[in-house]
Each structure stands twice: as structure tokens, then as C-alpha cells.
A and B are shown apart, each in its own frame.
Chain A
Amino acid sequence: MLDKNGIAKRIAKELKDKYFVNLGIGIPTLVANYIPEGIEVEFQSENGVLGMGPFPFEGEEDADIINAGKQTITTMPGASFFDSATSFNMIRGQHVDLTILGAMEVSEDGDIANWKIPGKMVKGMGGAMDLVASAENIIVAMMHTNKKGESKLLKKCSLPLTGVKCVKRIVTNLALLEITENGFKLLERAPGVTVEDIRNATEGNLIIEGEIPEMILN
């Protein structure tokens, strides 16, 4: 089974040379720590920075330079700042190649819910609705089940949707899956996880074809 860093590590292997990537809050942020060697990627943060770097050294933080999670950050050589409308032109106009974000639920046809639990949690969608409606390539990073042990990979989402038919791939603590016309296609198992474990934790239609390889993380 993977921990949060393991999920981030596996997603990082999906990064390709020359990709512009938007990372959501939570596990996706960790992906920046595992960029494969020999490729050039730039991270976009929708509050208005392209070429985001690591956290600043202590004492060097600048209140005017933050990411969309409101964390203090630095910039890389070649970085740029811009306003929010320009930022979402990059996203809506599909100039950003890959979006990695968290989710509360994903359905077998690629719907995603991650912004609201009616009557309980109302934080808002932030940029997630723009991102999922626009991005060509969307990878969801999340735990396979919720705190109650219920599957987050469903036939239909029960929570208010963030976007419809948009998720391409999902990396969970148990598996790497792809959304296909017929449901969640199992591509890889997390280390030490059996196909049966994944089947038991998946409510939506799970497609298993042939031998399912175990993930290689390094």
C-alpha cells in the first residue's frame, strides 16, 4: 500500500518533458518533490505564478509570493507572475498540459466531486471547476476509501459535482486506474496490494484484464 508520498511518487512518473503542470492542494503538491531526472517541467499555481519553486529558506519568506494553497514559495529561473484572468486563460485555453488534484469521489465515467459536502463542509471550489472543465489530462490523487472505509471510486458520485466526464487517471494508495468507457480499468497494483483488495475497495465497475503488474516507484 502507498502512503501520500508514494502516491505522489507514482504520479510524478506521469510527468513528461516540457509539461506545464497545475498541482492541487494536498497530495498533488508533493509531486513536485519527485520530478523524474532529465525532464523539464514548470509548475503553475492558479493564483498567478508559473515556474513555482520550493518553499523558501527560513527567514526568506515573502508575503507577496505564495501558491494557491496560500503557502509561501519561491520561483525558479524563468518564472513569471500574472493576474488571475491570465492564469485561467492558461488553464481554460489548455496551455497547461496536466492537472493533478485531489477528490472526495470519482465516478466510473470520470465525474469528480471535491468541493462541497451539503450542510457540512462548504469551502468552495476555488479553481477546481475551471481546471477540470478545461484540462485535457487530469490525474486524481486520493485515498481509495474514505475514513469510514467506504469506496471513493463509485458508479455515480453522491456529492455535488465539480466536473463531468473529465478525469483520465486515478492514483490511490492501492492502485493506478484509468477511466474508460466501461469503467475503472486497473493498470497497476500498489506494492503488496492484491487485485482482490482493490476489487473490495472499488464500488464502481472495475475492469481487470490479464495479469496486473505491481507499480515500480523508483
Chain B
Amino acid sequence: MIRKTVTNATEALLGIKDNMTLMLGGFGLCGIPENAIAELVKLNNTGLTCISNNAGVDDFGLGLLLQKRQIKKMISSYVGENDEFERQMLSGELDVELIPQGTLAERCKAAQGGFPAFYTPAGYGTEVAEGKETREFNGKMYVLEKAFKADFAFVKAWKGDEAGNLIFKGTARNFNPCMCGAAKITVAEVEELVPAGTLDPDHIHVPGIFVQRIFQGDHYEKRIEQRTVRTKQQ
């Protein structure tokens, strides 16, 4: 067994420098690497490019890095829940590349799987395709999209073991598996870190080979963005 465990977030983030490109898992605030983000805030590196579907909210998730002006560029698909983000973008302080959500996922997967680029129909005929190669296959038009290149990927799983194997829960899975192995170093944080041999190999969502460092997070707030419920009578 090749051991991937590190003791805490501080050790997990060793090597982070200014101007690096980071991938961060999560959809909205669901399944975000809360402990890695908290450590990034502490480290106070600047000039970061962040690849993440969303940009958090004003006071949580990537919003915390935006507040401190640590992010130079965001690559995301939807950023509607963050006023500070919108302000920085409209004022030109923050560089933003908005890309289709499926393209974002696939550009991670391509990096993970060694594909330099791929064709997708998403964005054809829109400003997303401007300056990109397009090509017809079977009578339909496609846009050439390239694999991401990133220095670190930060993902969050439910359970993990010493070998870096990961299991996710619910829709907290989202972009996390796609980002594993898609950067030079993948750092996984988990709610529960267990000894190797505890998890059933048949139940592993991401094999440990895609993860270089794993640690158990100190605390998870797991904030809910839109608490929607029904009453028993309905």
C-alpha cells in the first residue's frame, strides 16, 4: 500500500505559491474543500487562478479568498450567488472566464485522462466558441475545448482511506471525482479517514492513484445555500 496521509491541512498545502492555478471541487457550497480553503486564506497567497464551478457566497467558500483579493482569475460556469464576485468582475479587478458546466467537467476529466482536447457541441454559435476551432461531425457542429492545466486540485470526499481511495456522499460528489488526478498534486480532504482495508474495494468512487495527499478535515460547516422544505400536511 502506498500511504497518502498527511496530518493536517497545513501539511497538505505545502508547496502552494503565488500565481498558481488551483482546481476546487464542489457545486455551490455542496462538497467544497472547506478545510483547504480555510488554509488558503491563512497562507494568503495571491494571484491565484481558481477553476471551480462556482465562486462561493460572500462569506463562505471561495468568497473568502475573493474578499482578501487572493484570486486573480476565476474559471467557472455560474457565479450568481456572490455579490463581491460580481462587483470585482464588473469593475475589472477580477478576470473571469465563464464556460459551460459540462465543458468545465470534461476539461478536468481530459486532464485526468491524458486527452489534450475534445470536441463538444456546447457553446457552438455563442461567444464561448469565439476564437476556437470548430468542426462538423455527422452534420452537427462542435467546438474544440482543451484540457485544463493546474498545479493543485483540492477535493472533498465523505470517506477516504490511507491509500487515498475516496467515497462520496449524495450530490457532494459533483466535480470532485473529475478533478482528482487532473492537477500536478491532488489533495483530498475527508470527513472520515479510515485505515487501509476498511473500505470495500468494490465501493471506491475514486482510486487512490489519483490522490497524492489525504487528510481528515477538522470541522465541516456544510452550509446550506437554499434551505427548501415541505410541511407534513402537504
Whether B105 contacts A87 by the Cβ 8 Å rule is yes
Whether A48 contacts B127 by the Cβ 8 Å rule is no
Whether B169 contacts A64 by the Cβ 8 Å rule is yes
Whether A160 contacts B127 by the Cβ 8 Å rule is yes
On whether A130 and B125 interact (CB within 8 A), knowing A58-B231, A82-B173, A125-B77, the answer reads no
Residue B102 at the chain A interface, CB threshold 8 Å: yes
Complex interface: chain B residues within 8 A of A56 (CB):
229-230
Interface 1/0 per residue, B117-142 and A, CB below 8 Å: 00011111111100000000000000
Complex interface: chain A residues within 8 A of B102 (CB):
46, 84-85, 87-88, 91-92, 127, 129-130
Residue A213 at the chain B interface, CB threshold 8 Å: no
Q: Nearest Cβ in chain B — how far from A88, in angstroms?
A: 3
Whether B123 contacts A133 by the Cβ 8 Å rule is yes
Interface 1/0 per residue, B123-165 and A, CB below 8 Å: 1111110000000000000000000000000000010000000
Whether B125 contacts A84 by the Cβ 8 Å rule is no
Whether B77 contacts A54 by the Cβ 8 Å rule is no
Chain A, Cβ-Cβ closest to B176: A83
> Which one of B26-34, B63-71, B209-217 is at the interface?
B26-34
On whether A73 and B101 interact (CB within 8 A), knowing A81-B170, A81-B171, A85-B106, the answer reads no
Interface positions of A from 90 to 144, Cβ below 8 Å from B: 91-92, 111, 115-116, 119, 122-130, 133-134
Complex interface: chain B residues within 8 A of A128 (CB):
100
Whether A119 contacts B90 by the Cβ 8 Å rule is yes
Interface size range of chain A in the complex: 35 or more
Complex interface: chain B residues within 8 A of A92 (CB):
102, 120-122
Provide a sorted-by-A list of 8 A–B residue pairs whose CB atoms are within 8 angstroms.
A47-B28, A54-B230, A64-B171, A70-B30, A83-B205, A84-B175, A122-B86, A123-B79
A binding-site residues for B, Cβ under 8 Å = 45-49, 54-73, 81-85, 87-88, 91-92, 111, 115-116, 119, 122-130, 133-134, 160-165
B binding-site residues for A, Cβ under 8 Å = 27-31, 53, 76-81, 86, 89-90, 96, 98-106, 108-109, 120-128, 158, 168-178, 205, 222-232
Q: A57-B232, A66-B27 are in contact. List 10 more A-B contacts (CB 8 A).
A: A56-B229, A59-B229, A66-B224, A122-B98, A125-B99, A129-B102, A129-B103, A130-B122, A134-B121, A162-B126
